[in-house]
C-alpha cells in the first residue's frame, strides 16, 4: 500500500487534522541509510512530521527543514520537505540500537538526548523563518505540539509512531497533527482532547495496517467532518551529479588541483539520500577550466 496523507476539517472548520501513513517512506530511508532500529525510529518520526508540516506550506517552491539537535547517541536528525510531500533526511548516527526492553521506557528519549528542535520555513522571502523549542520529552511528537503553541500560537496535538522489528524491518509508520482553529468552542476543544487521550499507540495501529482514514475516525469520533485532500508521500532527494559539480566548482583552485593530481578523482556523497557521485580526473579538469575561464 502506497503512503499518503489526508487532510480534514471538523465541526464547520473549528478543528483541522492531517493524518499520514509513512511506512514505505521510512522503509526507503532505512534502506538507503542502512539504519539500525532506534535510528530508523527517530528518522521515521522526523520524516513523518516533515511531511505533515510540509503539507501546510502555501506555495510549491516553499520548503521546510526540521532539525532535532539532541546530545544523545543519535546526534542530529534532519528532515527536509515541500508542499508536494517529497521528503528527504538523515540521522547523524545511523547505527543506534537501544532496545526498549534493555534500556527501559525512556530508551528512545535517551537516544535523542537534550537539546533543541528547530523548524525552518523557506518561503522564498529574503530570510527563512526559524522557530525553535527545547526538547522536553525527546519523543519528538510532544515537542512539535509545543512548537505550534509557542511559535505559532495554534493549540495542536501531534502523534507519531514507527513500528520496527528487532532485525530492523519497518512494519508500520505514520502520524497526525490535529489543531484547534481560533474561536473554536470550548466543548469542541474538550471533546477533541478526550479523543486524543483515548488514541491507542500509533505504532501499533500502523503495524496493524490501519489506514489514515481509520485513525482520523478515532480523532474525530463524535464530530461531523469532511476529508478534503488525499496526497501521495515520497522519499525523494533533489540532488544530482550536476549539483555536486557546481559545489566542487566553488572550492579553491588548489583544492580542485589536489583532487586531480593527488586523488586522481573525487567522490561526493549526498547525506540526504546516500547517493554516490564519482568525478573522474577529466571531469575535474573540465570543472577547473570552466572556473578559471569565468
Q: Answer for the pair 141, 150: CB distance below 8 angstroms, yes or no.
A: no
Beta strand 76-82 pairing with 86-91: antiparallel
Q: Is 272 in the site for Zn ion (CB under 5 A)?
A: yes
Which span (56-64, 210-218, 261-269, 270-278) binds Zn ion, by CB under 5 A? 270-278
Q: Is 268 in the site for Zn ion (CB under 5 A)?
A: no
Cell of 253: 583552485
The residue (of 114 and 239) whose beta carbon lies closer to Zn ion is: 239
Q: Is 32 in the site for Zn ion (CB under 5 A)?
A: no
DSSP state of 199: P
- DSSP per-residue string spanning 54-116: HTT-SSTT-EEEEEEEESSTT-EEEEEEETT-EEEEEES-S-----HHHH-TTHHHHHH-SEE
Helices 253-261 and 241-249: crossing angle in degrees, nearest 10, is 120
Residue 277 C-beta: closest distance to Zn ion, Å: 9
Query: Which position among 181, 237, 249, 251 is part of the footprint of Zn ion (CB under 5 A)?
Result: 237
Site map (CB under 5 A) of Zn ion, residues 186-225, x = contact: ----------------------------------------
Which span (8-16, 67-75, 76-84, 235-243) binds Zn ion, by CB under 5 A? 235-243
**CA–CA separation, 52 and 20 (whole Å):** 7
Residue 24 C-beta: closest distance to Zn ion, Å: 18
Query: Which position among 46, 87, 205, 273 is part of the footprint of Zn ion (CB under 5 A)?
Result: 273
Short-list 215, 211, 240, CA closest to 225: 215
Q: Is 47 in the site for Zn ion (CB under 5 A)?
A: no
Q: Where do contacts with Zn ion occur on this chain (CB under 5 A)?
A: 237, 239, 270, 272-273, 275
Amino acid at each position: 500500500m502506497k503512503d499518503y496523507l489526508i487532510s480534514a476539517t471538523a465541526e464547520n472548520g473549528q478543528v483541522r487534522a492531517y493524518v499520514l501513513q509513512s511506512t514505505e517512506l521510512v522503509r526507503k530511508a532505512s534502506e538507503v541509510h542502512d539504519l539500525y532500529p532506534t535510528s530508523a525510529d527517530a528518522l521515521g518520526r522526523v520524516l513523518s512530521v516533515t511531511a505533515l508540516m510540509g503539507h501546510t506550506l502555501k506555495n510549491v517552491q516553499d520548503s521546510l527543514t526540521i532539525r532535532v539537535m539532541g546530545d544523545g547517541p543519535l546526534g542530529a536528525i534532519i528532515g527536509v520537505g515541500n508542499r508536494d510531500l517529497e521528503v528527504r533526511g538523515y540521522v547523524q548516527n545511523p547505527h543506534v540500537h537501544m532496545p526498549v526492553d534493555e534500556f527501559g521506557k525512556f530508551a528512545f528519549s535517551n537516544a535523542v538526548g537534550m537539546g533543541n528542535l528547530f523548524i525552518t520555513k523557506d518561503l522564498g522571502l529574503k530570510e527563512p523563518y526559524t522557530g525553535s523549542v527545547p526538547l522536553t520529552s525527546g519523543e519528538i511528537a510532544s515537542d512539535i505540539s509545543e512548537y505550534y503553541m509557542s511559535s505559532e500560537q495554534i493549540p495542536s496535538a501531534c502523534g507519531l509512531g514507527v513500528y520496527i522489528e528487532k532485525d530492523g524491518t519497518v512494519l508500520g509508520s505514520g502520524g497526525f497533527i490535529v489543531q484547534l482553529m481560533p474561536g473554536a468552542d470550548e466543548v469542541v476543544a474538550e471533546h477533541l482532547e478526550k479523543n486524543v487521550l483515548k488514541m491507542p499507540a500509533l505504532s501499533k495501529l500502523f503495524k496493524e495496517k490501519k489506514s489514515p482514514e481509520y485513525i482520523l475516525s478515532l480523532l474525530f469520533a463524535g464530530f461531523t467532518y469532511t476529508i478534503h485532500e488525499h496526497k501521495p508521500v515520497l522519499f525523494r532527494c533533489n540532488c544530482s551529479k550536476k549539483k555536486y559539480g557546481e559545489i566542487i566548482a566553488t572550492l579553491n583552485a588548489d583544492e580542485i588541483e589536489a583532487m586531480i593530481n593527488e586523488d586522481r578523482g573525487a567522490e561526493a556523497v549526498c547525506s540526504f539520500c546516500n547517493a554516490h557521485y564519482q568525478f573522474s580526473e577529466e571531469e575535474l579538469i573540465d570543472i577547473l577550466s570552466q572556473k578559471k575561464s569565468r
